[in-house]
Amino acid sequence: MELYEKLYELRRASGMSQEELAEKLGVSRQAVSKWESGATQPELSKLIELSKLYSVSVDELLSLEHAKPEQDAAESPVQSNAEKAPAEKLSFRDFCIQHKKIIGGAAVALAALIAVGATASVAWSLYAMFIMADQLAAGQVHEAMMTGMDNLYFESAGTILSLVTVGKYLETRSKSKTGGAIEALIDLAPKTATVVADDGTETTVDVDSILPGQVLRVRPGESIPVDGVVLEGSSAVDESALTGESIPVEKVAGNTVNAATVNRTGSFTFRATRVGADTSLAKIIQLVEDANATKAPIARMADKVAGVFVPVVFAISAVTFAVWMALTGSMNEALTSAVAVLVISCPCALGLATPVAIMVGTGKGAEMGILFKSAEALENLRSVGTVVLDKTGTVTHGKPAVTDIVVATHADGSSAMSEKALLKLAAALERSSEHPLAEAIMAECESRGIVARMVEDFAAVPGRGVTAREGQNAIAAGNVRLMDELGVTVPTGLAEQFAAEGKTPLFFAKNGELAGTIAVADEVKETSAGAIAALRSLGVDVRMLTGDNRVTAEAIARRVGLSREQVIADVLPADKERHVRELQDVGSKVAMVGDGINDSPALARADVGLAIGTGADIAKEGADVVLMRSDLMDVARAIELSRATIRNIKQDLFWALFYNGIGIPLAAGVFFPLTGWQLSPMFGAAAMSLSSVCVVSNALRLRTFTPSVAVK
């Protein structure tokens, strides 16, 4: 048993989750996941801690694996490669070398079986040549000819190796297509960029030489070289390569731009903020590579089957040889059947079934803007029974916006002022406020071209609102409590009406009379309701978890199709993790979707954590999946992709085992007494190679995956 397998079994036996173990050791959950997948190995200090925790000796742990002194135990091949510049071109050969751990087991088994079969053929042929030499020396020409016809297998050994080589060539060509997602991502990065100096001069430089803080210019049709913030100009930027969103996004001063996205229209300058391995593109490539380098739990089953399968095949081959010798007395017949068993039973198809499907599945996810950090996340997502959604920034945009502008009316039915006048009053009051609701109102005023007037005696009333004086007019903005204190009459039930709709009303007064009401709300994302419906169609229960008050939370829930029973409101940030744990305790596998720092413990606790791409970095670090488009519909797409990938793996495993179940008896000659069928080693080699190509080809079907319930 390898070290990573033992670590996995010991943790499961202890009843600890990866999160709990990571906390005890003072490392990240991702580090534990990589140890248990074989992507990296624990440092010696952590091995000592693990041995104490599991009550086993370090020697016992280390004796369970084949040491690789040439590889630093604290660094994986994938991690070391991540330090390369993202613009550096990786060949597929290099890619395969980086990920050799996921296909190495099958290669060893193949080499063992093929080598034994070919060696046996050559060895027996050499022995037969000595017999022929003795027969020719004795003048037994006819006997020598018969010996040569029946016992020389040089052509068989050559044909076996040739067929295997052809099969591996076809297999490699098929597998090379699985790395297309990473190759495509790497090719997106431009090789040069235009740097703008302080004096306005422009110079073309290599992307690798760009430093944070430098100003760069991007012209129409050019790819953006690094991540940054727009300084001057505007344009429509095609971000489909990173997010999967086909509609270009308008960029103006202050907006962020990402490496490898394409500038479609105008020219603009931007300041570089993240370069090299820190860019969004580099991190995406790293995530895809990390996912490919890990093993899904289902892969461990395939490895165990292959580990038992190979010695069993050797035993069957030996029994086949002995039975044929006992029944026929013919070394020729016995050797033919024994070698055929070794060749046809090669578990290469079994070893390829899981890693190739994982490579294609994670690559397809990257194309869709869904980044799986590990193969384990890809597998676990298929069996999720409950999806817990954070509200702010996940179900909603996470940014308050003006939803209603209601001008007050006098007793005679006339309006107190025009809508534009109300917005001018609001702008004058809110320009000096730092409250998020004030920011929403100012954004609305700016979009309408309203310029805020200066006010005097501005004062903030904590928990209530603001007051000021504009000329001879006393003006104020705030909640019902402030209006009551100022003696301003607010229509009965107006505040409750807005609250029931999930909106926050701000009341504006002028000279002791109500001037109007502006309601602000965090608007629901356009796709949220559809995403929740799509999740239900997949048989997934959906819950919304929020720290907001229940009235607002239930108002949002109604808009997206959730019942009040599916809403968990008034939750403190520290309690979100507890609510996820409670759902797990009742037997449900839980996925958590969030975007904020306060969501990170819940994301780590969940069986699968999905982070919104626009969310906090710590949330994305603690998550298992990153949704680059920040679209809830991608949760449904990710679940469908996970199910399709695991279904593909199970198909490949079934057919690989079914093939061997038929091929081994045929090669052994079980059907010979009834049908006269006996498989030669050459045909066995051809059949073995064909099975590997079929498995890889089936995995490649995932490249055409299209979600059924979440089509854009």
Q: For the chain, how many residues are written? A: 712
Asked if 410 and 491 count as a contact pair (C-beta separation under 8 A), the reply is no
What is the C-alpha to C-alpha distance for residues 106 and 42, in angstroms, rounded to an integer? 25
190-201 core/surface letters (b: 16 or more CB in 10 A; e: else):
bebbbbbeeeee
What tokens does 285 get? 């490539």
Catalytic residue chosen out of the listed positions 238, 290, 390, 624:
390
CB-based burial of residue 203 (10 Å sphere; 0-12 exposed, 13-18 middle, 19+ buried)? exposed
Chain CA centroid to CA 112, Å = 35
Closest CA to 3 of 47, 65, 59: 65
What is the C-alpha to C-alpha distance for residues 160 and 61, in angstroms, rounded to an integer? 40
Residue with tokens 């431009």: 190
* 511: three-class secondary structure by DSSP: coil
Angle, CA of 394, 398 and 401, to the nearest 5°: 135
The conformational region for residue 68 under phi > 0 = left, psi -120 to 50 = alpha, else beta, is beta
Closest CA to 623 of 615, 369, 631: 615
The residue type of 231 is L
Asked if 86 and 282 count as a contact pair (C-beta separation under 8 A), the reply is yes
Closest CA to 167 of 664, 657, 693: 693
Check if 278 is active-site.
no
| Rg from Cα positions in the chain | 34
What tokens does 96 get? 């395969």
Please list the active-site residues.
390
